[in-house]
Amino acid sequence: MDTLIENGDHKTDSRGYPYDICSADEACQRARFILSTKKGSFIYDRELGSDHDYLLANADKEGCARLFCEEALSCQKELSLGRVIAEENERGVSLSAEIIYNGESRFTEVFISG
């Protein structure tokens, strides 16, 4: 079980208690954290995260987006990856990925910038 993170902080109810999440919601939040964290930037685990430079440098964003997600999430054996969509704009790449956990799917979105 984990607590819901929203806008970089714990989301709380009207009493100030954090929302608990589990199952597919927890797995999706974990995937979002891994995808949005640049590999090597998390001081406690330098292997955690994804290779933002690879995605940003590759001209075929749509083609490499799946590989980007698969590599980043390879440490999460209980997760599978469904559809992956990447859209580039002048500020970076918007990435939408379907995360599948125990037959339940959730979509997560992250923005990768240089």
- The fold of the 2-112 domain, in CATH, is Nuclear Transport Factor 2; Chain: A, (3.10.450)
* Predicted TM-score of the model (pTM): 0.89
Q: Quote the CA–CA distance of 51 and 13 in Å, as a whole number.
A: 35
Contact 37, 48 (CB under 8 A): yes
pLDDT single digits (tens) 1-42: 889 888 888 899 999 999 898 899 999 999 999 999 999 999
> Which sequence spans correspond to the domains of the chain?
2-112
Q: Quote the CA–CA distance of 75 and 7 in Å, as a whole number.
A: 25
Residue whose entry in the numeric block shows the structure tokens 């090597």: 40
* 56-77-29 Cα angle (round to 5): 60
3-state secondary structure the chain: CEECEECCEECECCCCCECEECHHHHHHHHHHHHHHCECCCCCCCCCCCECHHHHHHCCCHHHHHHHHHHHHCCCCCCEEEEEEEEEEECCEEEEEEEEEECCEEEEEEEEECC
pLDDT single digits (tens) 41-70: 999 999 999 999 999 999 999 889 999 999
